């Protein structure tokens, strides 16, 4: 036989766990969300590094990227010419 106060506490714990289970979206949802956030951080970091490198190249601090920037400018000019 269980003490009535203990039984009441166990019922409250069971209700709280049930509520938490219903409000959470599940393990797969959490895993998917974490993977998407991680990919977003990586993509954002790559974009920032590319933009900073491009700006430093324009300023002249990194002259090694001059050829790539020239090719990029040519590609942008060709693309803008075809869009008009």
Is 4 inside any structural domain?
no
> Does some domain include residue 16?
no
Answer for the pair 54, 65: CB distance below 8 angstroms, yes or no: yes
User: How buried is 65 (Cβ within 10 angstroms: 0-12 exposed, 13-18 middle, 19+ buried)?
Assistant: middle
Tell me, yes or no, whether 8 lies in a domain.
no
- Any domain includes 20: no
**Domain extent for 74:** 26-83
Sequential pLDDT tens for the chain (84 residues): 778 899 899 999 999 888 877 777 777 777 888 999 999 999 999 999 988 887 887 777 766 667 777 787 888 888 777 655
Lookup result for tokens 């990919």 = 39
């Amino acid at each position: 036989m269980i003490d009535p106060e203990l039984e009441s506490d166990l019922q409250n714990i069971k209700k709280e766990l049930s509520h938490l289970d219903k409000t959470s979206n599940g393990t797969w949802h959490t895993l998917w969300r974490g993977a998407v956030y991680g990919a977003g951080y990586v993509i954002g970091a790559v974009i920032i590094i590319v933009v900073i490198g491009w700006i430093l190249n324009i300023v002249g601090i990194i002259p090694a990227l001059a050829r790539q920037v020239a090719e990029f400018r040519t590609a942008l000019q060709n693309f803008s010419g075809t869009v008009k």
